[in-house]
Amino acid sequence: MFHRRTLLALVALLAAAISPPEPASATICPTSPILRRAEGTRPANIGDLKAQLLNYKCFGTYDREVKQVFVRAQAYLERRAGRVSKPAIVFDIDETSLSNWAAILANDFGYIPGGSCKELPDGPCGWTAWEEAGSAKVIGPARDLFDAAKTKGVAIFFITGRHEKVRAATEANLRTAGYDGWKELIMRPDGSRTPSAADYKAPERGKIQAQGYTIIVNIGDQLSDLAGGFADRTFKVPNPFYLIP
């Protein structure tokens, strides 16, 4: 018969043996899902949240859920395009049309505005330098929607929170990713800030509609991309990796 302390030690050893190892760094995807439990009513541990984000992105769920949204948006666009005069669509850019996953991963889900971005994939990667590098990858289902809009004669607008100073790099990045033929790329003036991105984006949609367009689809990864009206339908792409108020 085991002594109680011996039994407890054996249980602890067994638990350690079956727990998956933590990744040494979050700058690479893990090879299998990381499973841990929350502690009752306490706020979730930030390391656990990061593990959930890695699981969500690295094992296909994120990509599948992103695609589902674009497929629904495309079906609506194709039904609606012929029924309004001057139909238009508004795309957000980051985490809607282009993926910044390499920088997000390198920065371990932190936001680092300044500094260089020469250390990929290990990081850190300054966000402005990343935008200037024009290396963001296409989000395939977004490009499918973009192409469908072109086929249907729908005018395509990008409205992005990126500033004018990265216009040339952003346009080059969009073209490298396979987007071409948009009507207008609307960017924030350098140095401008609003309490919410919606305070800038909604009025810009208003200006598009004032030109006689009907925005049939507005699609973005943040609620602030979609708030404030000026669209028949809005479509929310998943993005649990960061929040733009």
Question: Closer to Mg ion at the Cβ: 92 or 131?
Answer: 92
Across-strand partners of 235? 219
> Closest approach of Cβ 222 to Mg ion, in Å?
5
Task: Determine, following the binding rule CB under 5 A, whether residue 131 of this chain makes contact with Mg ion.
Answer: no
Which of these ranges, 12-20, 45-53, 80-88, 215-223, lies near Mg ion under the rule CB under 5 A? 215-223
Question: How many Cβ atoms are within 10 Å of 212's Cβ, its own excluded?
Answer: 9
Which of these ranges, 25-33, 37-45, 198-206, 213-221, lies near Mg ion under the rule CB under 5 A? 213-221
Q: How many residues bind Mg ion (CB under 5 A)?
A: 4
In whole angstroms, give the CA distance from residue 180 to residue 165: 20
- Chain-centre distance for alpha carbon 96: 5
End-to-end alpha carbon distance in the chain: 61
Among the listed residues 54, 91, 157, 221, the single contact to Mg ion using CB under 5 A: 221
Which of these ranges, 2-10, 90-98, 132-140, 226-234, lies near Mg ion under the rule CB under 5 A? 90-98
Among the listed residues 27, 57, 74, 94, the single contact to Mg ion using CB under 5 A: 94
> Closest approach of Cβ 122 to Mg ion, in Å?
25
- Chain-centre distance for alpha carbon 165: 21
Please identify the residue of the shown chain whose CB is closest to the bound Mg ion: 94
- Annotate 61-102 with DSSP letters as a single string: HHHHHHHHHHHHHHHHHHHHGGGSSSEEEEE--BTTTEE-HH
Angle, helices 140-151 vs 61-80, to 10°: value is 10
124: helix, strand or coil: coil
Question: Closer to Mg ion at the Cβ: 95 or 106?
Answer: 95
Which of these ranges, 62-70, 88-96, 110-118, 188-196, lies near Mg ion under the rule CB under 5 A? 88-96
Question: Closer to Mg ion at the Cβ: 131 or 221?
Answer: 221
Q: According to DSSP H, which parts of the chain are helical?
A: 4-18, 46-58, 61-80, 101-106, 127-133, 140-151, 167-176, 198-210, 223-226
> Closest approach of Cβ 177 to Mg ion, in Å?
14
Question: Closer to Mg ion at the Cβ: 204 or 221?
Answer: 221
> Closest approach of Cβ 107 to Mg ion, in Å?
16
Which of these ranges, 94-102, 111-119, 128-136, 177-185, lies near Mg ion under the rule CB under 5 A? 94-102
Strands 137-138 and 98-99: antiparallel
Kindly state the tokens that stand for 83.
């029924």
Under the rule (CB under 5 A), what is the footprint of Mg ion?
92, 94-95, 221
